[in-house]
Copies of this chain bind each other. A is one copy, B any other.
Amino acid sequence: MVVSVALREPETQPRLRAADRSRALTRSSLISSAKELFATRGLHGVTTHAIARHAGVAAGTFYLHFKDKSEIFREIALETMAGLRAVLTRVNSTEVSLRDGVRPRVEGLVRFAEENRDVMRIIFGNDTEAAQIESELLDAFAADIARGRSQKVESGEMPAEIDPAVMSQALVGMLARVVRWWLEDPTRASRETVIETLTRIQLSGTHPRKT
């Protein structure tokens, strides 16, 4: 996607454009190499040399594009998270009611996860150094959810006993773990089962206590 952005910038000179294109190519090469490697080996398990080698460039080139090993990780993580949020937001905006919206949102998540296995493994993967970034991301995600939930609580659609902040953390944790678990071996459950189960849990607690 970095590439396509570069193709659209009209104000740069042709000469510069060529240089830019080459630079952008190297950059995206590094990024996709990093995605692949981080996904399977984690932040710690990947060396900058390995990323460069995999991208077919020299070791030093890495540092022409990224200040740090963590910078590229951060960038990948942020970009991916943005993609995921976009998917979920799109669903959100068309949702009519919470009840009706849950399923499409879960579907969106699951489909996105399938299409972005590597990158989901990175985000939902485990890595102490990634934890900080991950936290920011998931917290933002959780905040999104929390906002929606708050409204339901206020409007009485959700019982006050359910704290939106806690609830959102719970949902994020749940989704992250299930997705990671499922991606590790997609034969563990059919996609339908995953979606159905997650949907039902999501709905849980959303109806006011009977008693």
Binding site for B on A (CB under 8 A): 41-45, 125-131, 134, 138, 159, 161-163, 165-167, 169-178, 181-182, 188-189, 193-194, 196-198, 200-201, 203-206
Contact = CB atoms under 8 A, between A and B. Distances in A.
A205 B176 CA distance: 19
A178 B189 contact: no
Chain A interface secondary structure, helix, strand, loop or mixed? helix
A181 to B, nearest CB: 5
Nearest to A188: B165
B166 A178 contact: yes
Nearest to A127: B128
Nearest to A2: B58
Contact of A197 (B162, B175, B176, B203): B162
A42 to B, nearest CB: 3
Nearest to A204: B204
B170 A201 contact: yes
A163 B170 CA distance: 19
A128 B43 contact: yes
